[in-house]
Structure 1
Amino acid sequence: MKTITLSAEDIREAVTMAEAIDAVRRGFIDLARNEFEMPTRTVLRDGQFLVMSAHHQSSATAMIKTLGVNFDRDPAIAGTVVWSELGRLDHLVADAGPVTMLRTGAAVGVATDLLAVPEASRLTVIGAGAQAPDQVRAVHSVRPLSRLIVLDADSRRAQKLITTLAPELAGVELQIATDTEAAVREAEIVCCATTATSPLFRASALPAEVHVNAIGAFRPTMRELPDDLLSTSTVVIDQLDAILAESGEIIHALDSGALAKDDLTELGAALTSPRPPAGPGGRTVFKTVGVAAQDWAIAQLLAAKFLPVTSS
């Protein structure tokens, strides 16, 4: 039996964002086709410890991820991803931090490619923590950017993000903002990656046509988006059971009557529909709390690259 252990550097060198987006897209399609056994994740200590698992039935492969979450550090998450394949003894253990950042970014790339207008090129990112670089990379992969605005409560983090991404964004106008509503006023795509417990902006601050990705709030007590944005947009989610258990903004909107469950479309269903959803006001929202099929998709890529080929 051989255990392959992958560091953050190994993962980053092995997987491009374009590969991650393609893999996660296939994962969501397989999720819609009931290819996965995927329990709702186990949440301990009010979200400070998380356990996620997925079994891909047709390939007889499985992934288990364990995380510790501490917002007093950056990156906030630390843990492991373990990949197994039925019938073989070798398995793979990977640093969960970069896997989670890649799969979250990739999901945003999939949703943005589906929902944002083809010519969209102006992105505003709210929240410049560890998840933010892959949010930008994913959007840039599917909608090449002309302008990036970054806003964070800590202007030093915003500047660090700009400095980190500048070599990858040649020719893109890079700005740091301090006023949230001004930062989103002319955006064509908005990515929210914060730990907010109340909406970050009013719906009226957004353009009439905009795509919003919300990835930060993953507990019922957290909330990035206002009810009136959700009630006037096409809302696409990662997976219904996970969203109803964990998404503060969706739970709040359902409880207030701003949304009904029938207003929510899972991303896998949207990808396999002959006609992708269209927003009544030209606004679309992708809300994700993260599901294990995404982690499985990245782990599958890593297994294909690092585990020895067998004849079985």
Structure 2
Amino acid sequence: MTTITLGEREIRETVTMREAIDAVRRGFIDLAAGEFEMPTRTALRDGRFLVMSAHHRSTASAMTKTLSVDFDRKPAITGTVVWSETGRPDHLVADAAVVTTLRAGAAVGVATDLLAAPDAGRLALIGAGAQAPDQVRAVHAVRRLRQLTVVDADPRRAHALVEALKPELPGVELLTAADAESAVRRAEIVCCATNATSPLFPESALPAQVHVNAIGAYRPTMRELPDELLADSTVVIDELGAALEESGEIIHAVEAGAISRDALTELGAALTVPDTEYGKRTVFKTVGVAVQDWAIAHLLAGKFLT
């Protein structure tokens, strides 16, 4: 038996963001087609320890991810992703932190490509933590950015992220903002990547046409978006069961009567309906599902296991 172990350097040098987006898009389409067995993840100690798994029927391959989350620690996410295939003696083990940030970015890239206006190029990013760089890279891969505005509770982190991304974004106007409300006022795309427990901005702060991605709140006790935004938008989620069990925004909005379950569209289903007309305001809410991790692991397996 051969075990291939991959760290951040090997993964970053091998997988482009465009490849990750394409892989995650195919994964969501297969999820909608019933190709996956994917139980809702196990969350222990209010989400500090997570276990996720997915089995892809047509390839007889499976992925299991275990990780711990501690926002007071650097890195905040640690763990492993294990990929294996029935009948093959070799398997792959990858750093869960880089797979998680890459797959979260890729999912946002898929959703932004589907939902944002074709000419959208002004991105407001709220949260400058470990997830933030791949959020920017993913949006930039599907919508050529003209302007990026970053805001964080710690202004130093916002400035540091802008400086770090400069070499990757030539010609893009790079700014920081003092607060989320001012950052989103002229945005065409918004990415929220925080551990907030209450909405980051009021619905009234947003332009009439905008696409919002929210990846940070992954437990019922966490929220990044206001009910009013969800009520006034086309809302796409990663997977219904996961959103209703884990997304603080969705749970709160449904219980408040701001949105109904029937108004929620899974990303995989949305991808299979061509030429759909969406409203001027769109939201993609993801808590992260195992098919995303499987997609990145499957991509890595194709490159490293022969």
Match of 1:286 in 2: 284
**1:132-151 equivalence runs, <5 A:** 132-151=132-151
Q: Are 1:302 and 2:304 counterparts?
A: no
- Find the aligned partners of 1:205 and 1:172 in 2 and give their Cα distance: 23
Q: Deviations over 1:272-296 (max 9, x none)?
A: 01343512xx100000000000000
> 1:150 corresponds to which letter in structure 2?
V
Equivalent residue for 1:113?
A: 113
Deviations 1:176-204 (A, max 9, x none): 11122111000000000000000000000
Amino acid at match of 1:81: V
Is the CA contact 1:36–1:55 (under 8 Å) kept in the aligned structure 2? yes
Residue type of the partner of 1:9?
R
Residues 166-245 of structure 1 mapped to structure 2, 5 A cutoff: 166-245=166-245
Residue aligning to 1:272: 272
Deviations 1:207-265 (A, max 9, x none): 00000000000000000000000000000000000000100010000000000001100
- Counterpart check, 1:82 vs 2:82: yes
Partner residue, 2:61 = 61
CA distance in 2, matches of 1:28, 1:100: 16
Q: What residue ranges of structure 1 are gaps of 5+ in the alignment?
A: none
Q: Does the Cα contact within 8 Å between 1:270 and 1:277 map onto a contact in 2?
A: no
8 Å Cα contact 2:220-2:246 kept in structure 1: yes
- In the other structure, the counterpart of 1:92 is 92
The percentage of counterpart residues that share the same residue type is: 74
State the distance in 1 between where 2:38 and 2:239 align.
11
TM-score by length of 2: 0.99
Aligned 8 A contact 2:184 2:190 in 1 = yes
Give the partner amino acid of 1:304: G
Secondary structure, aligned partner of 1:297: helix
- Where 2:31 maps in the other structure, the secondary structure is helix
Provide, for residues 151-196 of structure 1, a one-character-per-residue CA deviation record: whole Å limited to 9, x for no partner.
0010111111111110000000000111221110000000000000
Equivalent position amino acid for 1:237 in 2 = I
8 A Cα contact 2:198 2:224, kept in partner = yes
Please identify runs of 4+ aligned residues in structure 1 that moved more than 3 A.
Answer: none
Q: Give 1:176's aligned amino acid.
A: T
How far apart in 1 are the matches of 2:74 and 2:112? 26
Contact 1:234-1:277 at 8 Å conserved across structures: no
Letter in 2 for 1:251: I
Listed as ranges, the gaps of 5+ residues in structure 2 are none
Distance in 2, matches of 1:206 and 1:277, equals: 20
Question: Secondary structure of 1:47's partner?
Answer: coil
| Matched pairs, number | 306
> Structure 2: how far apart are the matches of 1:191 and 1:57?
33
Other structure's SS at 2:194 match: coil
The answer (yes or no) to whether the contact 2:152–2:179 under 8 Å persists in 1 is: no
Structure 1 range deviating more: 155-164 or 258-267: 155-164
TM-score, length-normalised on structure 1? Answer: 0.97
| In 2, Cα distance between equivalents of 1:74 and 1:131 | 12
Letter in 1 for 2:127: G
Cα distance in 2 for partners of 1:155, 1:181 equals 15
Q: Within 2, Cα distance between the matches of 1:284 and 1:136?
A: 18
Amino acid at match of 1:95: D
* Partner of residue 102, structure 2: 102
Query: Quick check: 270-279 or 41-50, which moved more?
Result: 270-279
